[in-house]
Structure 1
Amino acid sequence: MPQNKQILLDNRPQGEASVSNFKLVTTETPALKDGEVLVKHHYMSLDPYMRGRMNDAKSYAQPQELGKVMQGGTVGEVVESKSPKYKVGDKVVGMGGWQEYAVVDAEKGYLQKVDTTHVPISHYLGAVGMPGVTAWYGLNRIIAPKAGETVVVSAASGAVGSAFGALAKARGLRAVGIAGGKDKCDYAVKEIGFDACVDYKQHEDAASLSKALKDACPNGIDGYFENVGGMVMDAVMLRLNSFARIALCGMIAGYNGKPVPMSYPQLLLTNRVKLEGFIVSEHMDVWPEALKELGMLVGSGKFRPRESVAEGLEAAPEAFLGMLKGKNFGKQVVKLA
């Protein structure tokens, strides 16, 4: 059996996360038992939610255990099988974590075959994976837009935001993004198809950003997909229409443990706003429908997601920390094979 490089959570962050929180080890891959498969990972996913799990605090998911492999999505190939469900060569998506190989119980572990004929395998970690389904659920089940409405998403050039934009435009909506930097805004408009994108880095406060949003959303905002919180959310709140809907997916502004106050909570009442937080793993019933649409958008070339690719397992901690600061462009993955 091959040796397996792994990255463990060695200690918990005190404030901002750092490379020193992680530890690289090499272990022996155990022999397979009946019903198990050995997966060689080609790519692994880096996602903002992982930062929250590094803390030992109450959240929607159990904290990442110390001394254990960092958890996360993976795609790869079955290289040995003792299960009738999978054969050598099958391409699969799973939750193999930050390691080069994973032994998976085919009956109990999460593992699913994927078709790489028209969709590149790495996209099953992004546009045609959890981030894409996250965007789909927030748009369709919470915002539930009507034709002609205006929807806005923060972190618009990222894995979730770009999928949200592609899905919104497929429904004939006015889609407006918020992103950091001219390059990301240009990508959102020219490649994803957003009607407009506002660069939050050009604004020092919520009032200034809100004025720019007024120009981009002349009819106000009917639906908002929130990934960031803080100043960005405050700016959007000032532009919401009556009976607007907010799908609350992430609050990256607070991932280092600092409070994320709202400046205008009264507007939730004034505008009779619906605000709903959600975790996409609690809505597995929608995944088949969502993945079918997302796969068609990507496979047909109507949606061309961008990726930031770090090379090798050792690069994962730096890439992860960079993603939390917006240094990635599109979905952040690590190439392992």
Structure 2
Amino acid sequence: MLQTSARLLKLLSLLQTRRDWPGPELAGRLKVDVRTVRRDIDKLRSLGYPVHATPGTAGGYRLGAGAALPPLLLDDEEAVAVAIGLRTAAGSAVSGIEETSVRALAKLEQVLPSRLRHRVNALQSVTVPLTGHGPTVDPQTLTAVAGACRAHERLRFDYRSHDGTAGRRTVEPHRLVAAGRRWYLLAWDTDREDWRTFRVDRLTPRLPTGPRFTPRTPPEDAAAHVARGITTAAYRYRARFTVHAPAEHVSRYVTRTSAVVEPVDEHSCTVQTGADSLDGLALYASLFGADFEVHEPQELRDRLAVLADRLSRAAGRAKG
């Protein structure tokens, strides 16, 4: 059996890994009886950790939020990840957290073991952030959405679509997806009864969240679903074409936010993408260095015929 102090640290570490823990399961992990778990929970509470009892047949415990943030237990890899994340926060798409990140980083590096500090410094010394422009996300909005995803609580928010139309949505939030400098929410829209993708910088949560819901299973991986939506849905023209080249080859020319590439066989693949310009789509399709056929839209096929005639005339004049 673990000594009391070691057991308390183990118990705290378990409570931080997931939202709810049944008492008997904690007892099994710690190799003690349920009564000992209750005593250890009381000791954590006396140290300032807000451990709440959860209702149910077996009963359980949850580490909640308190008036002050208690110490957190991080393993080596988690500590390095947090330090690197804080150092790069100034170049992120989340607004207003630069100074806060510096303060938090100073506290963390003060207690980092030297072996971990060297790892963080080695990576940071050879890394140069390439900052970009564009909309940023309010940290409070991001954390509110993330909290609703984690707690499986309905989220209501005001939303501004890409054409400027304002509206109000009620959703069952599933996952946050970071794509470049933008954050997207994949959620089940309760009014439209379908999965939808929302840009987080365009929404304003209405708090509090709730009620809780039973999570649904999306039709595909969250990142893949969001990628499929943002590569076509926001544009005037949506295109699908077959490229006579392996998917691995074509994927070198695209990002997950610009196109969705799916293999047909070893020698060809389909590409789905979007643009506000037919000429832009035509240029995009020609960049892969392989023959291709356009399946949709018809306007793109017509435009390719016009461009082919124009290019043919230009080539003829060049020969003359």
Shorter-chain TM-score bucket reads under 0.3
- Work out which structure has the larger RCO, using CA pairs closer than 8 Å and 6 or more positions apart in sequence: 1
Name the structure with the higher helix share: 2
TM-score (norm 2): 0.26
Query: Which protein has the larger Cα radius of gyration, Structure 1 or Structure 2?
Result: 2
